[in-house]
């Protein structure tokens, strides 16, 4: 049997063992509860996790040595179709684009994550009712939608989008919604943050750190780890999350050339 034959992974513990606990793979798996499937190469040197709805798209996270990962991804994409977009460490995606005809790279961007319990490195801002960041009620979703459309129109996370679970926010002294962010596309062991946006009139006043710190702390408590994606050019966002203890990892993505 060829070492490049795809072998389906039966559960999250097997996946964890085969990818060395890689947080990106575990996030993409979404618990392997029917929304995602995972495969490894026969020699155990590569893993691909394909999800039908990750950041509102079908994606295939690829991990491992390029000489094993590229043939494995080629097999998975043959079954998943051209809509399934490869995602992984930047150097690996560069190899994927070189070796699989018809793919083009996009980005650059990165993955940021943190593991373990919250500690004193996170702000303790209380609840939304006393001026700090907190979870927002369903009745505030109209405000959330307007703020996201104004401040972050390209966000994958918007109210009502499948996979977007819960919104947090912080208000200014006049009661206006100043910053928001969401739990979205979370996995059992990875709380994923998306849609973090600050109203233009409220920037540089600490509101982004308040809502970001609240979401990071809540994700660590609920899932044991927290992650998000950030564009390489967004130094302000990267600096904010590095200040909250997240580490940066450069990623790449690819899609079928249109």
Rounded-to-integer distance, Cα 64 and Cα 13, Å = 17
Q: Which CATH number characterizes residue 150's domain?
A: 3.40.630.30
User: How many helical (H) and strand (E) elements, i.e. helices and strands, does the chain have?
Assistant: 7, 12
Rounded-to-integer distance, Cα 170 and Cα 50, Å = 35
* Tokens coding 102: 């018809």
Instruction: For residue 225, give the nearest of 254, 251, 195, 187 by alpha carbon.
Output: 187
SS3 state at 6: strand
Q: Does some domain include residue 240? A: no
Q: Does some domain include residue 153? A: yes
Q: Does some domain include residue 251? A: no
Residue ranges making up the domain that contains 15: 6-109
Total domains present in the chain: 2
Give the residue from 68, 88, 109 where a domain finishes.
109
Instruction: Looking at the structure, tell me whether residues 133 and 66 fall in a common domain.
Output: no
The pLDDT, as a whole number, for residue 256 is 83
Rounded-to-integer distance, Cα 184 and Cα 157, Å = 7
Instruction: Looking at the structure, tell me whether residues 128 and 176 fall in a common domain.
Output: yes
The pLDDT, as a whole number, for residue 34 is 83
Instruction: Looking at the structure, tell me whether residues 98 and 131 fall in a common domain.
Output: no
Q: Does some domain include residue 250? A: no
Q: Does some domain include residue 141? A: yes
pLDDT tens for the 258 residues of the chain, in order: 344 678 999 999 999 999 999 999 999 999 998 889 999 999 999 999 998 888 888 899 999 999 999 999 999 988 876 678 999 999 999 999 999 998 999 878 999 999 988 876 676 554 444 468 999 999 999 999 999 999 999 999 999 999 999 999 999 999 999 999 999 999 999 999 999 999 999 999 999 999 999 999 999 999 999 999 999 999 999 999 999 999 999 999 998 876
Instruction: Looking at the structure, tell me whether residues 122 and 105 fall in a common domain.
Output: no
Q: Does some domain include residue 93? A: yes
Instruction: Looking at the structure, tell me whether residues 42 and 65 fall in a common domain.
Output: yes
Give the residue from 109, 144, 174 where a domain finishes.
109
Instruction: Looking at the structure, tell me whether residues 154 and 87 fall in a common domain.
Output: no
The pLDDT, as a whole number, for residue 127 is 45
The pLDDT, as a whole number, for residue 108 is 84
Give the residue from 47, 77, 109 where a domain finishes.
109
Instruction: Looking at the structure, tell me whether residues 96 and 20 fall in a common domain.
Output: yes
Contacts of 119 by beta carbon, 8 Å cutoff, 6+ apart = 245
Contacts of 28 by beta carbon, 8 Å cutoff, 6+ apart = 36, 49, 50, 51, 54, 59, 61, 87, 187
The model carries a pTM of 0.91
Rounded-to-integer distance, Cα 209 and Cα 245, Å = 12
Rounded-to-integer distance, Cα 190 and Cα 157, Å = 17
């Amino acid at each position: 049997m060829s070492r490049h034959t795809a072998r389906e992974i039966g559960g999250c513990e097997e996946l964890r063992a085969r990818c060395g606990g890689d947080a990106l793979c575990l996030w993409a798996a979404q618990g392997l509860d029917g929304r995602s499937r995972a495969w490894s190469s026969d020699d155990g040197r590569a893993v691909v996790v394909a999800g039908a709805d990750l950041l509102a798209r079908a994606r295939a996270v690829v991990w491992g040595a390029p000489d094993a990962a590229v043939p494995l991804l080629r097999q998975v994409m043959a079954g998943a179709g051209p809509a399934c977009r490869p995602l992984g460490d930047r150097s690996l995606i560069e190899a994927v684009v070189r070796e699989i005809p018809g793919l083009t790279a996009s980005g650059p961007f990165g993955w940021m994550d943190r593991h373990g319990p919250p500690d004193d490195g996170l702000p303790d801002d209380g609840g939304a009712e006393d001026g700090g960041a907190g979870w927002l009620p369903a009745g505030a979703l109209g405000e959330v939608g307007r703020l996201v459309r104004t401040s972050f129109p390209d966000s994958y996370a918007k109210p009502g989008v499948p996979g977007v679970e819960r919104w947090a926010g912080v208000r200014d002294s006049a009661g206006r919604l100043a910053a928001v962010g969401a739990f979205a596309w979370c996995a059992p062991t990875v709380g994923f943050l998306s849609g973090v946006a600050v109203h233009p009139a409220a920037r540089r006043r600490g509101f982004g750190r308040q809502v970001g710190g609240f979401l990071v702390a809540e994700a660590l408590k609920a899932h044991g780890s927290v992650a998000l994606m950030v564009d390489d050019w967004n130094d302000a966002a990267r600096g904010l999350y590095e200040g909250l203890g997240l580490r940066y990892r450069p990623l790449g993505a690819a899609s079928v050339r249109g």
